[in-house]
A and B are shown apart, each in its own frame.
Chain A
Amino acid sequence: MDASFLDLLMAQQEEVTEAEGGGGIWVVADVVDGAVAPVTLEAIGAARNLAGALGAYVYAVLLGDGVSDLAATLYQAGADGVRVADHPALASFAVEPYMEVLVNLFQAEGPEVILFGATPQGQELAPRVAQRLGGGLIEHATAMTLDEATRTVQAAVPIYGGEYFEIVACPQARPQILTVEPGAFPAPFMDPYRKGEPKSVEVTPVEPRVRLLGPADNFTPPPVPLAQAPVIVAAGRQAGGFRLVEQLATALGGQVAGDRGARDAGWIRPEQIIDVRGVTVAPKVYVAVGIRGDTFHNAALENSRFILAIHPDPTAPIFRVADLCVEADPQEVLPALLQAMGA
């Protein structure tokens, strides 16, 4: 059996057909820069898993201008049916025109579960759709299981940004609407043999009620205090220099800080010293560059979600609190790290 015969066989098997008569799991696609956002594909993958247990079909809704070609991607990711609302009025996201399309579609189709990406677009649309259809909305789902007896989706939602998770369900109200956290579900296998014929949806243009006035050039957001910064790159005595530390902070979109050694070297201001006697921090990412890590420093950063430490001394105490340890001279590792980060 040669490969071309196999291709032919698979192509025959994977012609997707749609079910009659409503229900199903619906995924509202996010389109970013003319491509389907990864979170949408992840949501379709998650929907497929639920659909297997529910005995339901997975549908995707695509809204935008000139987006019909993207339907193929949605079929490949696992959608059984795709509805396309392709209209110049939908070119850029606005609540009212998108709502008009989605609500008309969902009222006609009666979906059982609706998934949005937890993106700015999804977070504006999902609550309004839930309110209009009378459904329950679970936000930022990072895992989904099914209560098969009642056909209820149970989702884990992160509390305090992922310190722990509450498992939440929407037992009575239908449809069940969820927003799916980007990156929480694995990307589905893209099957190039899966294809189908998308159906187009009628679009009645509606005027958006929020008008875009133009860029806010003179607006600068207030500075984030170091104690609340999500990303911190801190230098210590063994950093060997501050320039690369600053470059890494810029590349990661974070703030610079340091220990007392960095202050002694004149790299940072006193209010940037991370220490229980200075600032106590709890960022999502903390990079310690050449910091040995005394008790006072380590105690001030132990609530960080992820700590990367770079220090030449393998016995440095910072390595006991760090998640990832690099025993090397920062001046040798940082250029390679900056290059690997694409900076």
Chain B
Amino acid sequence: MRIVVILGRMLDPRGIVVNPRAGRIFVNREEYILQPADRCALEAALRIKEAVGAEVVALPRTFLPDDDVLRQALAIGADRAIYIAGKPVALPDDGLMARVLLAAVERLGEVDLILTGATTMDTGQGQLGPRLAEALGWPQIVGAWTAEVADGSVRAVRQDGGGYVWVEASLPAVVTFVPGALKLRYPDGRRLINIYKGVGEIAAALERWEAKDLVAPEALTPLLERRGQDFPPERERGVRLSGSPEEIARAAADALRSRLPR
């Protein structure tokens, strides 16, 4: 059984400051972390591997300037990682990447399961998993909390209204995970050192494919285009509520309700 995990990276939000008045984003510390939802997908793949045995192959979610994401995936436990070299675009373009990854999955062959994050934490993109499922003609389970494989099908827990339900799809399938779905494991120290030093078996597990070998040049045109940035209005702090306790409570409740996450 072969499981493909698609991983991306994001700029650590703790290292950036957004200044709406200046209309600028200040990057104080340029540090990239794995997309939390994609990390959960990798964790799920490793759990399936431990339960039923599988080869876990890591692929990148976007064209990256370096292969750091894939090295981390190998250190955490992936068996193979393939760096797909292409021209990085300003905006993650899942429509474009779906074409490239479709070709990569077809070249890999015998893929039973594709796992990835249900959403990216920075840009909020969740289209890669469903797009790949559509391109491959596979079923999709979107927003899984946990998944297991048995008897040629994948079962997953998904949120449904207020509760959780088990759903099942026959393999091959695409499953996407919500961020924070699983307790993550730490990278293995020795693997981490070896993969960055480029020594041992693990160094050979990192391959490099060229995007232009996978798809025709015209398929590498991005679908989306960045047209600028916008900033939310500046916060007005220290607004005091006045009136009777009931009026204050009503105003505060309205303010809370409009800002609660959906």
Q: Which residues of A contact B (CB under 8 A)?
A: 95-96, 120, 123-124, 126-128, 130-132, 136-140, 143, 154, 156-173, 182-183, 209-216, 219, 221-222, 224, 228, 230-231, 252-253, 284-285, 287, 305-306, 308, 319-328, 332-333, 336-337, 339-341
Contacts and interface: CB of A to CB of B under 8 A. Distances in A.
Nearest to A254: B260
Given A120-B142, A160-B121, A325-B240, A166 B261 contact: no
Contacts of A211: 167-169
B260 A285 contact: yes
A218 to B, nearest CB: 10
A168 B261 contact: no
Nearest to B24: A164
A139 B124 contact: yes
Interface residues of B, number: 79
Given A131-B134, A285-B256, A340-B250, A210 B241 contact: no
Contacts of B145: 219, 221
B126 A221 contact: no
Given A139-B127, A285-B260, A336-B249, A159 B223 contact: no
A170 B224 contact: yes
List 7 tightest A-B contacts by C-beta distance, closest first. A336-B249, A340-B253, A127-B127, A127-B130, A209-B139, A136-B223, A131-B134
Interface of B: 13, 16, 18, 20, 25, 91, 94-95, 98, 121-131, 133-135, 139-143, 145-146, 155, 157, 159, 163-170, 180-183, 221, 223-232, 235-241, 245-246, 248-253, 255-262
Contact of B95 (A156, A173, A253, A308): A173
Contacts of B259: 284-285, 305-306
A180 to B, nearest CB: 13
Given A130-B127, A139-B127, A336-B248, A210 B13 contact: no
A139 B125 contact: yes
Contacts of B227: 154, 167-169
B124 A284 contact: no
29 contacts: A124-B142, A136-B223, A137-B94, A139-B125, A157-B124, A160-B18, A160-B121, A165-B229, A166-B91, A169-B225, A171-B225, A209-B169, A210-B141, A213-B155, A221-B164, A222-B183, A231-B261, A285-B256, A319-B238, A320-B237, A322-B237, A323-B237, A323-B238, A324-B255, A333-B245, A333-B249, A337-B252, A339-B249, A340-B246
A248 to B, nearest CB: 9
A63 B230 CA distance: 35
Contacts of B235: 323
Contacts of A213: 155, 165-168
A160 B98 CA distance: 23
The B contact surface, by secondary structure, is: mixed
B255 A210 contact: no
Nearest to A327: B240
Contacts of A162: 232
Contact of B238 (A221, A320, A339): A320
B130 A131 contact: yes
Contacts of A123: 126, 130, 142
A213 B160 CA distance: 12
A139 B227 CA distance: 15
B247 to A, nearest CB: 9
Nearest to B128: A127
Given A139-B127, A163-B18, A231-B261, A324 B181 contact: no
Contacts of B142: 120, 123-124
B225 A214 contact: no
Contacts of B250: 340
B123 A321 contact: no
B14 to A, nearest CB: 8
Contact of B225 (A168, A182, A228, A284): A168
Given A128-B133, A164-B232, A209-B170, A252 B260 contact: yes
Contacts of B18: 160, 163-164
B134 A215 contact: no
A305 B18 CA distance: 12
B138 to A, nearest CB: 8
A222 B183 CA distance: 7
Contacts of B257: 341
A226 B10 CA distance: 21
Contact of A164 (B128, B169, B229): B229
A273 B182 CA distance: 25
Nearest to A156: B230
A130 to B, nearest CB: 7
Given A210-B139, A324-B255, A161 B131 contact: no
Contacts of A163: 13, 16, 18, 232
